Amino acid sequence: MSNIKCIIVEDEPLAAKVLSDYILQVPFLKLLGTFKDAILATDYLRSSTVDLIFLDIHLPKLKGLAFLKTLAIQPAIIITTAYHQYAVQGFDLNVTDYLLKPFDFERFLVAVNKIKISAMDTQKSAINPDIKDYLFLTIQKKKVKVLYSEVLYIESQREYIKIVTTKKTYLSKMSTHEIEALLPVTIFKRIHRSFIISIDKIDTYTAEIVEVNGVSIPVGRGYREILENL
């Protein structure tokens, strides 16, 4: 797999230094540049292509989330900020992860591994275009396209399932067994009789709990071996 080309948009020198040091420790990341404001980053992106942006929210001249809205082609985005209150707005703009400062290298690695897995899936789809990266579900009598890459987790709701994605939540009248049979096993794992999760969306886990996008999901006793084998 080729390197993931990235830039840092961060006005705090110490925070930018921490990020660049972390990036240098990850073999599949290649740092192309560091910019102290979004205007400089915009100028750079006019002539260069990147795969990933590490983006602070509180920037001079143009705020991070406003900068995101200006991008005609959006690469993967990892928000880095000391302010948790912008998390929902960030995920509404389809960011991959949201790192609250100060974050350690382990948490940083969780975020960039999501980018790596997504890039690998994209490469596999390009090699074999017959591999689907979505499925259609019946939602309120309509067929709705749901991308695998956007699904966070699926929860049983008696005769329905709740599909929680990075964009919205859906309810579909089917069982978890039925949806599990439709999902690729390399991406999704059942960890409880009522829950199926997307592996690359896991933030942290223990033998009893998996955290996905800030939501704690229980691990059933009969499913703990699945986590051990991750």
Inter-residue contact 71 to 44 (CB < 8 Å): no
Q: Within this chain, do residues 102 and 160 fall inside the same structural domain, yes or no?
A: no
**What number of other Cβ atoms are within 10 A of residue 186's Cβ?**
11
| CATH code of the domain containing 200 | 2.40.50.1020
In the chain, the number of structural domains is 2
End position of a domain, from candidates 63, 95, 127: 127
- Cis bond upstream, residue 218 (ω within 30): no
End position of a domain, from candidates 99, 127, 155: 127
Cα gap 114→134, rounded to integer Å? 18
| CATH code of the domain containing 88 | 3.40.50.2300
User: What was the pLDDT predicted at 70?
Assistant: 86
Crossing angle of the two packed helices 105-127 and 13-24, in degrees rounded to 10: 60
How big is the chain, counted in residues? 230
Q: Within this chain, do residues 146 and 210 fall inside the same structural domain, yes or no?
A: yes
Q: Within this chain, do residues 11 and 117 fall inside the same structural domain, yes or no?
A: yes
Stretch 102-112: mean pLDDT, rounded? 91
Q: Within this chain, do residues 194 and 139 fall inside the same structural domain, yes or no?
A: yes
* Residue where the block lists tokens 């939602």: 139
* SS3 category, 226: helix
Cα gap 95→68, rounded to integer Å? 9
pLDDT tens digits, 69-80: 888 778 889 999
Stretch 29-35: mean pLDDT, rounded? 95
Give the burial class of 90: count Cβ atoms within 10 A of its Cβ; 0-12 exposed, 13-18 middle, 19 or more buried: buried
Stretch 141-159: mean pLDDT, rounded? 91
Stretch 224-228: mean pLDDT, rounded? 74
pLDDT tens digits, 161-174: 999 999 899 999 88
Confidence of residue 127 (pLDDT cuts 50, 70, 90): very low
Inter-residue contact 162 to 170 (CB < 8 Å): yes
Q: Within this chain, do residues 39 and 12 fall inside the same structural domain, yes or no?
A: yes
Confidence of residue 43 (pLDDT cuts 50, 70, 90): very high
Q: What's 10's DSSP letter?
A: -
Confidence of residue 121 (pLDDT cuts 50, 70, 90): low
Q: Within this chain, do residues 202 and 147 fall inside the same structural domain, yes or no?
A: yes
Domain that residue 183 falls in: 134-228
Inter-residue contact 19 to 31 (CB < 8 Å): no
